[in-house]
Amino acid sequence: MSTPQSGGMRSVNAAHALILFGATGDLSKRMLLPSLYGLDIEGLLSSPLKIIASGRQPMTDDQFRNYAKDVLLTHNDNNPSSHEALDNFLKRLSYVVVDLNDSKNIASLGKTIKNIDQANPAIFMSTAPNLFETAIEGLRLSGLTNGKARIALEKPLGHDRQSSQAINDAVQTAFSEDRIFRIDHYLGKETVQNLLALRFGNALFEPLWNANAIDHVQITVAETVGVENRGSFYDQAGALRDMVQNHMLQLLALVAMEPPAHFNATEIRDEKVKVLRSLRHIDRKNVLQNTVIGQYGPGAVGMTPYPGYRDDLGASSNSETFVAIKANIDNWRWKGVPFYLRTGKRLPIRQSEILIQFKPVQHSIFDTPLQANKLLIRLQPEESIRLTVMAKEPGLDRNGLQLREVALDLSLTAAFSTQRRRISYERLLIDFIEGDQTLFVRRDEIEAQWDWIDRIRDGWLHHKMQPKTYPAGTWGPSAAVALTEREGVSWHD
């Protein structure tokens, strides 16, 4: 992982041209333009870096600059700054109309970059994957795939292993793996990277980070939002492919991986992929015992009433908006330790967290019941780490020592309150521009993820499993509670 620095000390691989396909789309508006601007005002973009925006909509450079200005003034409370800084940023921008369905048309893009070979162009594809093949062909014709040119790909990268392979094959005809940056925006989140700091920067946890001391792990990514205006995409995907295949499996891999010998892209990803390949298959034989799916019906989040998924969608559907899974990792470290995963839309709160539940003490000398230690790593909305421990209640203990669970709380948001909170794309974009792949997903990881997911989906189809309805604003169908309760485990809500 590179350490961004202001001033001139940058990677020799740093791009001098960043090409944004899909520059007028939603991601660009919400994340990419604000992130690039945030990096610029901190002096983290090199002075030669030009940003070439591209989209289907005809616009002149000035019209795009005005569009970007508007975006930055309205979507950018993260980065207040002066007019001068904004004008300087806008000067980096230019715009080229490109129809990604037409490879010859893309070829004209190459002409906008002087000395392509020295520019190390960084090409960010924020577009539908069905356009990738013609786009790659066009990039090749324009000379934009040569030398150190690199490409970043947004999800969804396929809808199963086969389609993901086809996309990867197409991209690899033009870019070698060390020049392909597959995005999982969870890897750009501070707290996700903090998992590595916590595990490998402290002597305390690693000796206990295994089946001897850990009873089980829970990973929850709960959202209060519904399907919003993404129905046509989401309904094809469902929660398993939208959230578990990527974000949740990456979290699981970071929690479960062996310590790499060095902090670099190859070794970290080597360790993650080993975990992903060690996931016990969930297939037709055991999918009914190990997974639960749900779909939100009408209900309320807090005091606000919401319609059900089908009303949001305006159509009947059997896609899951909630999934809970009991996963197992078949290796020495995690033998017999279940990893419970759960994600859903229209749940009661927006909260992503990882709970490490330790085993009880070997032998208790106290009369009062003891709670086993828990380590709760909260990723969002606030970032915190909480360790619960047993402590003696103050008093003279005439009826025996009284113990109570208390929390050692570390609020990362408060501890680093002077630091600006960044959106994950700032991190991902600077690493992409500088050519550091540590926080991007390698092909073998993606394919191991799909292998595991495809078996689950095949099991669901085989058993014609239908999602159970849960009222909006609740923690999913009751079967999700039963999934853990039958093993004596309660979800941490």
CB 284 within 8 A of CB 465: no
Catalytic residue flag (residue 247)? yes
Rounded CA separation 460/196 (Å):
34
Q: In this structure, what token pair is assigned to residue 270?
A: 């080597």
Choice between 163 and 328, CB closer to ligand BG6:
163
> Rounded to the nearest whole angstrom, what is the least distance from the CB of residue 185 to ligand BG6 in the complex?
6
Answer yes or no whether residue 190 interacts with ligand BG6 by CB under 6 A. no
Total of chain residues touching ligand BG6, rule CB under 6 A: 2
- Reduced 3-state DSSP string for 192-209: HHHHHHHHHCCCCCHHHC
> Rounded to the nearest whole angstrom, what is the least distance from the CB of residue 113 to ligand BG6 in the complex?
30
Q: In this structure, what token pair is assigned to residue 276?
A: 């992903």
Task: Point out which residues pair with 300 in neighbouring strands.
Answer: 305
CB 294 within 8 A of CB 466: no
Region 378-437 residues binding ligand BG6, contact defined as CB under 6 A: none
Choice between 223 and 312, CB closer to ligand BG6:
223
Choice between 235 and 242, CB closer to ligand BG6:
242
Residue window 118-157: x/- pattern of binding to ligand BG6, with contact defined by CB under 6 A: ----------------------------------------
CB 71 within 8 A of CB 34: yes
> Rounded to the nearest whole angstrom, what is the least distance from the CB of residue 315 to ligand BG6 in the complex?
18
Answer yes or no whether residue 223 interacts with ligand BG6 by CB under 6 A. yes
Q: In this structure, what token pair is assigned to residue 345?
A: 């839309």
End-to-end CA distance of the chain: 34
> Which residue in the block uniquely carries the two structure tokens 């604003």?
473
Torsion from C-alpha of 239, 243, 245, 250, nearest 10 degrees:
-160
> Rounded to the nearest whole angstrom, what is the least distance from the CB of residue 7 to ligand BG6 in the complex?
31
Rounded CA separation 379/356 (Å):
14
Catalytic annotation, pick one of 16, 185, 247, 463: 247
> Which residue in the block uniquely carries the two structure tokens 């319609």?
307
Q: Which residues contact 214 (CB under 8 A, 6 or more apart)?
A: 208, 337, 356, 357, 358, 359
If phi over 0 gives left and psi between -120 and 50 gives alpha, with beta otherwise, what is residue 447?
Answer: alpha
Answer yes or no whether residue 242 interacts with ligand BG6 by CB under 6 A. yes
> Rounded to the nearest whole angstrom, what is the least distance from the CB of residue 347 to ligand BG6 in the complex?
12
Choice between 121 and 226, CB closer to ligand BG6:
226
Choice between 215 and 242, CB closer to ligand BG6:
242
> Rounded to the nearest whole angstrom, what is the least distance from the CB of residue 223 to ligand BG6 in the complex?
5
- Residue of minimal Cβ distance to ligand BG6: 242
Region 261-320 residues binding ligand BG6, contact defined as CB under 6 A: none
CB 266 within 8 A of CB 438: no
Choice between 223 and 235, CB closer to ligand BG6:
223
CB 441 within 8 A of CB 265: no
Residues recognised as catalytic = 247
Interacting residue ranges for ligand BG6, rule: CB under 6 A: 223, 242
